[in-house]
Structure 1
Amino acid sequence: MRPTKRDQADLRAFCREICYTPRNGGHSRERGIAMGLIDHVTQPWKDWRPGVSTRMRISALTGASSLSIFEQWVDPGLGAPIHWHPVKAVLTVQAGAAEIWIEGQSFHASAGQSALISAKRRHSFRNVGSDKLHMLAILASPVFEAHFDDSAAPVHRWGPDPGEGRGPR
């Protein structure tokens, strides 16, 4: 399947967001936001659900204006419940084996494979292997927002506002 013009525009926006060459000792200014290196090793881990550990890499909290990137380590048999985001998302398997479900279609993915998920499409994933599943997720928003089938309130994470973390965990 060929990428659409919209997909190509999204990729260009992504590259403008994180694929720049820093100047002035590792810092540069883009759209009024100080940009620089981020040490992912020091970023905290959060347990979103039992058996699912998450580390945010890029978000509004790190100065991003158009995307968020986070990693998840998932125990065998576990994953993310059915949910949707108001923006496009990409799920990439870094290690392990996953079953990714998107609007009624199920896909088996292994290391090096990604799923592109359109905005407002219900999806989920689970670890179908015997080892930990390592996933990388990219959302086309600097603030994580998810709407879960089993909850009326959306979940917000990594936003600069005091209401961050509303909704179920």
Structure 2
Amino acid sequence: MTRRDFDPATVTPDGRPAIKAGLFDATLGGPYRGSVNGEVLGTQITVLTYGNDEPGKGPVLHVHPYDEVFIVQEGHARFFVGDQVIDAQAGETVLGPAGLPHRFVNLGPGRLQTLDIHLSPRWIQTNLE
């Protein structure tokens, strides 16, 4: 299917160059975490990656003043977002709305890998545990 959602002639480039930034060191084995602030890329989003191989493990309960979108790339996770419990697997996304405490754990078996999009030019977080 061909997509033509807008007329390219209506968008003027703003002069920013393409930028590359390291998210994680792919040469290291084991679990990895990394982040790139949107400020580095000149955007309004910050990108994080999180992974672990241990069922039951994950980030501590925390909260952000902006929305966060989790993309499960590998494995199975259980998300705790406010009063909701959401199970998600590879290929699914979960929204953590601004101001709602959240955390997630690897349900196993095997690796959990996520890509987390923070809708902010900086990673801003308060841990609650």
Calculate the TM-score normalised by the size of structure 1.
0.59
Equivalent positions of 1:157-168 (< 5 A) are none
Q: Where does residue 10 of structure 1 map in the other structure?
A: none
Deviation of 1:52 (Å): 5.4
Say what the alpha-carbon RMSD is for the aligned residues. Answer: 2.4
* Contact preservation (8 Å) 2:21, 2:41: no
Deviation of 1:107 (Å): 1.1
Q: Where does residue 71 of structure 1 map in the other structure?
A: 49
1:132 aligns with 2:114: no
Deviation of 1:37 (Å): 4.3
CA–CA distance in structure 2, aligned partners of residues 126 and 143 of structure 1: 24
Q: Secondary structure at the match of 1:141?
A: coil
Identify the match of residue 101 of structure 2 among 122, 141, 153. Answer: 122
1:147 aligns with 2:129: no
> For residue 148 of structure 1, what is the amino acid of its counterpart?
N
Residues 14-39 of structure 1: CA deviation (Å, up to 9, x unaligned): xxxxxx9xxxxxxx963x6x330426
In structure 2, the CA distance between the partners of 1:52 and 1:83, relative to structure 1 (3 Å rule), is farther
Instruction: Identify the structure with the greater helix proportion.
Output: 1
Q: Which has the higher contact order (CA 8 A, sep 6+)?
A: 2
Moved more, 53-62 or 108-117: 53-62
> For residue 112 of structure 1, what is the amino acid of its counterpart?
G
1:54 aligns with 2:36: no
1:85 aligns with 2:64: yes
* Contact preservation (8 Å) 2:47, 2:116: yes
CA–CA distance in structure 2, aligned partners of residues 111 and 36 of structure 1: 29
CA–CA distance in structure 2, aligned partners of residues 114 and 99 of structure 1: 12
The number of residues matched between the two structures is: 114
1:36 aligns with 2:15: no
CA–CA distance in structure 1, aligned partners of residues 123 and 32 of structure 2: 16
CA–CA distance in structure 2, aligned partners of residues 125 and 84 of structure 1: 12
